Amino acid sequence: MVVLKGIPSLLSPELLYALAKMGHGDELGLQIPALLEAILKLFPLDTYVRSPAAVMDLVDSDKELGVETPVWTTYIQMIKQAGSQGSLETVERFAFYERAKKAFAVVATGETALYGNLIIKKGVIPPGELS
């Protein structure tokens, strides 16, 4: 349990440690909007790439069935609220798995939304925003 002021309780000490250890361009795989909201309070998204966040693209059979991914809309809104001008990248299923394997850290949650997995890329904090 986190017992510091201003730190969202969803962020465990281990996750805070991983976030602090990450460098510019390192990636973090996660699954849940509430956790994303907490992380984005501390975590600058990469502004030097077109897409600082990626989701797994639908497999062909789900595209044919018209499966919807409303959680992606939530992610896009949250990323924009965090100040990112980048878009949400869709990555082919097996390429997404490989990318997640290479992520700096992967956060396992109980997220149940279809295609709810998300990878975010860490950026840098502009000098004017450093405390």
What is the structure's pLDDT at 3? Answer: 62
Q: Residue 27, Cβ neighbours under 10 Å: how many?
A: 20
Range of the domain at 20: 13-122
Q: CA–CA separation, 28 vs 18, rounded Å? A: 9
97 is catalytic: yes
pLDDT of residue 5: 78
- Of 26, 46, 48, 60, the active-site residue reads 46
- Number of domains into which the chain is organized: 1
In a domain, 130, yes or no: no
Residue 108 domain flag: yes
Query: Using CA of residue 30, residue 70, residue 88, residue 38, what is the dihedral sign?
Result: negative
17, 48, 60, 97: which is the annotated catalytic residue?
97
pLDDT tens series, the chain, 131 aa: 556 778 887 888 888 899 999 999 998 876 678 889 989 988 899 999 999 999 999 999 999 999 999 999 999 999 999 989 888 999 999 999 999 999 999 888 778 899 999 999 999 988 877 76
- Which of 17, 24, 26, 62 is catalytic? The answer is 24
Its pTM stands at 0.82
Q: Does residue 46 have an active-site annotation?
A: yes
